[in-house]
């Protein structure tokens, strides 16, 4: 069984409007949510085979928090340029590139692509995958190249506000 975790980057800062979009860092809430959501997953999973991320600063920073929670370093991150503001086809193309011995992959990126992609697998539409939201998609295929909208199903959907009670 293959497990894909779409993880939208944590909340980013708009404080410096001179920055290019891909250079925006996490804001205070993002710096709080990313490690909290990372620990939430780390408490439930034994291991992750790969951390694949958009090269945008906010996505990389989010991925680093998750890698740290799983005892890995930033050197363990795999960067994929196509994940920066990826379409659903770009995301699927990234999935097709995964090594077949990877069974649990974390993919860090952006909306609206992540929400659109998640909805191909959801029984009920997700209006928005919020910042630091996590969508877990499972499939019974053996090869990532066989992963598609018919084989996968949305198994879980987590987001930071679920835990603000």
Can you list the residues of the chain whose pLDDT is less than 70? Answer: 165
Q: Return d(Cα 115, Cα 128) in angstroms, integer.
A: 6
Residue 165: its pLDDT value, please? Answer: 55
Residue 62: its pLDDT value, please? Answer: 98
pLDDT digits (tens, 9 = 90+) for 36-67: 999 999 999 878 999 999 999 999 999 999 99
Residue 20: its pLDDT value, please? Answer: 95
Helices assigned H by DSSP within 70-104: 88-96
Task: List the one residue out of 74, 79, 81 whose CA is nearest residue 52.
Answer: 79
Residue 69: its pLDDT value, please? Answer: 96
> Token digits for 7?
């993880």
Residue 73: its pLDDT value, please? Answer: 86
Task: List the one residue out of 9, 56, 1, 5 whose CA is nearest residue 33.
Answer: 9
Domains and CATH numbers, the chain: 2-163 (3.40.50.1240)
Residue 123: its pLDDT value, please? Answer: 86
pTM over 0.85, yes/no: yes
Residue 46: its pLDDT value, please? Answer: 73
Residue 84: its pLDDT value, please? Answer: 97
């Amino acid at each position: 069984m293959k497990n894909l975790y779409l993880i939208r980057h944590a909340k980013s800062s708009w404080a410096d409007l001179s920055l290019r979009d891909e250079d925006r860092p996490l804001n205070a809430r993002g710096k709080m949510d990313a490690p909290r959501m990372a620990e939430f997953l780390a408490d439930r999973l034994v291991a992750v085979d790969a951390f694949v991320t958009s090269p945008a600063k906010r996505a990389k920073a989010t991925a680093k928090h998750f890698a740290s929670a799983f005892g890995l370093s930033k050197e363990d991150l795999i960067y994929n340029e196509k994940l920066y503001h990826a379409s659903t086809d770009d995301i699927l193309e990234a999935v097709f590139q995964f090594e077949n011995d990877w069974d649990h992959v974390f993919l860090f990126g952006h909306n609206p692509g992540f929400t659109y992609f998640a909805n191909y697998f959801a029984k009920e539409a997700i209006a928005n995958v919020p910042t630091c939201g996590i969508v877990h998609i499972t499939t019974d295929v053996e090869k990532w190249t066989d992963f598609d909208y018919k084989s996968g199903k949305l198994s879980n959907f987590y987001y930071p506000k679920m835990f603000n009670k």
